[in-house]
Amino acid sequence: MTFRQYTKKLFDDYDLVLSDIQLKSILGFERLFTEHPPKADTSGYEFVEIDSADSFDTIWRSRGMYMIASDFEPNLEKRDGCRLRIEGLPVIYRGQADLVRERVQSHLDNTRYVKTKDKKKQGTWTRCLKLDRKPGNGGIDCYVAPYQNYRWVVVVLPLRDSTTEFRNCAEWGFDAVFGKPIASNERVQGPSKSILDDARVRFAHDQPE
């Protein structure tokens, strides 16, 4: 092979391996969520009900995936949404972050979150939970009107030392089992259903007994 052919093959082989790792991770999370659904009392998850501003201090701080459930009904474009309910509440959003507590605050405790970051002269997340179709970056204060009359709960899957790419796999595995929550609207999209179906066949022998 020529030099160019060698380097192309190396890149192609590398991309193939990465793709297979991603697919196996998604299917692994799919099995995890099927056998151990996120609930308030399921071992391995962190559950917090938000009933005051102080509640945010008890949310898992570090890396992980999180789910937000509420009986508040978003005024968004209708789609199937998520079938999972936690404490009887539909999951309306799921996401992942290096700093889960801070990210959840940006969604549900936005005014205080922005003030804290401004005081520290730090940047803020600009794509936050949107529950309506109005212009803007989103983010609410769930313990004040009109949201305080509804329940808000957060469930976190702690994933210490994880990468963003790995946590994306957790999100996509969650979606494969329960459906994508109605307010989740991230830019990065996961593999298509047909690709996942093909991967389930290809990697069937890797599933634990």
Write out the two tokens for 176: 């494969």
Does residue 42 register a pLDDT over 70? yes
Q: What is the pLDDT of residues 97-117, one digit of tens each?
A: 999 999 999 999 999 999 999
Mean of the pLDDT values across residues 174-201? 92
Q: How far apart are CA 11 and CA 17, in angstroms?
A: 10
- pLDDT, residue 209, reads 56
Number of domains in the chain: 1
Mean of the pLDDT values across residues 165-189? 94
Does residue 11 register a pLDDT over 90? no
**Residue environment code for 84-116, b if the CB has 16+ CB neighbours within 10 A, otherwise e:** bebeebbbbbbbbbeebbbbbbbbbbbeebbee
Does residue 48 register a pLDDT over 80? yes
Range of the domain at 54: 3-206
Q: How far apart are CA 66 and CA 103, in angstroms?
A: 9
Does residue 14 register a pLDDT over 90? no
Counting residues of the chain whose pLDDT is more than 90, the rounded percentage is 75
